Structure 1
Amino acid sequence: MNRTADTLLALCVAAAGASAASAAACPLQPGDGQHLTGDGVTLAWQVINRRHVPLAEPFALLVMLCPTQARLVGVDATMPAHRHGMNYRPSLQALGEGRWRVQGLLWHMAGTWSLRLDVALDERPQVLRQDVVLP
């Protein structure tokens, strides 16, 4: 192998090792809720004390971030088909070890909602989204 190939191989091995170590240090399980993955960040979210997002009732989310040094910096939700969002701004509370409580969400209409979770890792912001259909 030439020097460039050796360097690329070493970088790939190091990245794979770092990813495995990060996953082992912060495991998210299927029972932790809905999973989303971004650039170096994985999160799981679930509705607190309910099985599903309720229609026209306040609710809260538990968000778990991996790696745990990632920060949740904002949460919002919109209905793209109707070109509007929530009438309330949720509050964020850090619970420690990568866990966050998002309080004050209310989805007032049935239909498709786009949940937006703004996260930051090493001061690099990114947006993770997931569509949720309320019957």
Structure 2
Amino acid sequence: MSRRWCRWQRAAAAGALAAAGVPWATACTLQEGDGQPLSAAGVQLAWQAQPLPIRNGQPFGLAVRLCPATAVLKAVDATMPAHRHGMNYRPSLHPLGDGRWRVDGMLWHMAGAWELRFDVEVAGARHSLRQAVELR
């Protein structure tokens, strides 16, 4: 999780998204340092935990960047699929403008495989973006 995305990794991700038909709008592109990239149906999202690294039983937040910037972050949640449970807290979402969001109130109470879920709405359509994260 603490890995930074190098330019070649971002370029590879951009190429993969372009091949899948996901446009990288020049007016809204993910920047180096935005965090872990995700995409679905024309929506791009990058997130980064604050502070890094995420620690077992310690509260943390997320810095989130959405492209297009008009996309709205509707919900963020995390679950442990192997244990069939999620977080004990509901995070709060704060729009910062220009496609940037702050998520407060995250807490992973045990080590293991977590799945982050971001629910995003863009142009009237709702998308769910997911990413597996291992907490050690």
TM-score > 0.5 by shorter chain:
yes
For residues 27 and 76 of structure 1, the distance between their equivalents in structure 2, rounded to whole angstroms, comes to 24
Moved over 4 A (4+): none
Q: Which residue number corresponds to residue 70 of structure 1?
A: 71
Question: Which residue of structure 2 lines up, in the alignment, with residue 27 of structure 1?
Answer: 29
Q: Between Structure 1 and Structure 2, which shows a larger proportion of helix residues?
A: 1
Tell me, yes or no, if the aligned pair for 2:34 and 2:64 is still in contact at 8 Å: no
Q: Distance in 1 between matches of 2:84 and 2:94?
A: 28
Q: Which residue of 2 aligns with 1:53?
A: 54
Could you tell me which runs of 5 or more consecutive residues in structure 1 were left unpaired when the two chains were aligned: 1-15
Q: Distance in 1 between matches of 2:121 and 2:92?
A: 17
User: Quick check: 1:38 aligned with 2:44?
Assistant: no
Q: Which residue of structure 1 aligns with residue 8 of structure 2?
A: none
TM-score by length of 2: 0.81
2:9 aligned partner: none
Distance in 2 separating the partners of 1:124 and 1:67:
13
- Deviations 1:43-86, CA, capped at 9 Å, x for gaps: 100012x2222211111001000000001000000000100000
Unaligned runs of 5+ in 2: 1-20
CA distance, structure 2, for counterparts of residue 113 and residue 19 of structure 1: 29
What residue in structure 2 maps to residue 134 of structure 1?
135
Structure 2 counterpart of 1:107: 108
Larger radius of gyration: 1
| CA distance in structure 2 between the aligned counterparts of 1:98 and 1:59, rounded to whole angstroms | 20
TM-score, normalised on structure 1? Answer: 0.82
